[in-house]
Amino acid sequence: MRRKTMHESDFMSSDTLPVIGFICGSLRDESINKRLEKALIKRFKRAGLKTTSINLAAYDLPLYHGDLDLPAGVKKLARKIKSCDGVIVVSPEYNGGLPPVLKNAIDWTSTTGKAHFETPYWGIASCTPGPMSGIMCMRQINYILMRLGAHVSPVQVGVGKAQLAFDSKGELIAEPSVSLADNLIEDMLAHI
Ligand SMILES: Cc1cc2nc3c(=O)[nH]c(=O)nc-3n(C[C@H](O)[C@H](O)[C@H](O)COP(=O)(O)O)c2cc1C
């Protein structure tokens, strides 16, 4: 069982601040989920947390099949995830489910063990152009992570109608998404 208890004094030095990793399930330059990731990073920083963006495109992750040797990027990604106190997955919804780039990263790294799923506390967020805010993909990600032994926050940050959800500075402005983001931060702080 993980659980490092944070003491007030741990927040005194930036070296000991909890680190929250962000994984985006879209690699697209103009991704609305990257926009959400950036907006969440701003909020998490303002709450006094350290953040790191875990860019799946930067790891060697071919499409999984069992005849391939383990690519070096897989262990590197698992180590990076395990080094975080918390990890937020920010993902688009594809046909009611999670995108292949994210499932591929989960599947590859699961072949190396489960410690990187069990160690950080997890959160899930999703942004869609339509009103439904990715609830189906967030449910799937939640199920898969929990099946791998992850502790996952019950607070999911769904952001629908993406074109109205951010201001010109990239701040998240639409309710209930703003409140959900703040609730997620509060829940992460209580669990890391
Ligand atoms: C293959 C595919 C399937 C999609 N399925 C859904 C869906 O089930 N629900 C939804 O809300 N949007 C769906 N969309 C629209 C995406 O939410 C939209 O393209 C979004 O901008 C993708 O995220 P990104 O901007 O972060 O890349 C789908 C898009 C693609 C390309």
Q: What are φ and ψ of residue 30, in 5° steps?
A: -95, 25
Q: Is residue 1 part of a domain?
A: no
Q: Is residue 5 part of a domain?
A: no
Q: Is there a contact between 133 and 160 (Cβ–Cβ < 8 Å)? A: yes
pLDDT of residue 1: 38
Q: What are φ and ψ of residue 168, in 5° steps?
A: -65, -15
Going edge to edge, which strands form the sheet with 151-159? 50-54, 19-24, 86-90, 121-127, 151-159
Distance 72 CA to ligand 1 centre (A): 30
pTM metric for this prediction = 0.93
pLDDT of residue 14: 67
Q: Which ligand 1 atom is at minimum distance from the Cα of 133?
A: 11
CB contact set of 96 (below 8 Å; sequence gap of 6+): 136, 137
Q: Which ligand 1 atom is at minimum distance from the Cα of 35?
A: 26
Distance 128 CA to ligand 1 centre (A): 7
Residue nearest to atom 4 of ligand 1 (CA): 94
CATH code of the domain in which 134 resides: 3.40.50.360
Residue nearest to atom 29 of ligand 1 (CA): 94
Distance 120 CA to ligand 1 centre (A): 27
User: Given ligand 1 and candidates 94, 127, 138, 166, which is best to mutate, with the most ligand atoms within 8 Å of its CB?
Assistant: 94
Q: Nearest CA to 44 among 65, 66, 17?
A: 17
Q: Is residue 35 part of a domain?
A: yes
Distance 15 CA to ligand 1 centre (A): 38
Distance CA 20, CA 13 (A): 16
Q: Is residue 3 part of a domain?
A: no
Distance 123 CA to ligand 1 centre (A): 20
Q: Is residue 2 part of a domain?
A: no
Q: Is residue 71 part of a domain?
A: yes
Tell me which residues have their CB closer than 6 angstroms to ligand 1. 26, 28, 31-33, 92-96, 128-130, 132
Residue 180 structural domain = 13-191
Handedness of CA 163, 135, 21, 154 (dihedral sign): positive
pLDDT in tens, the chain (192 residues): 344 444 444 554 667 899 999 999 999 999 999 999 999 999 999 999 999 999 999 998 999 999 999 999 999 999 999 999 999 999 999 999 999 999 999 999 999 999 999 999 999 999 999 999 999 999 999 999 999 999 999 999 999 999 999 999 999 999 999 999 999 999 999 999
**Structural domain total, the chain:** 1
Q: Is residue 7 part of a domain?
A: no
Distance 44 CA to ligand 1 centre (A): 25
Q: Is residue 8 part of a domain?
A: no
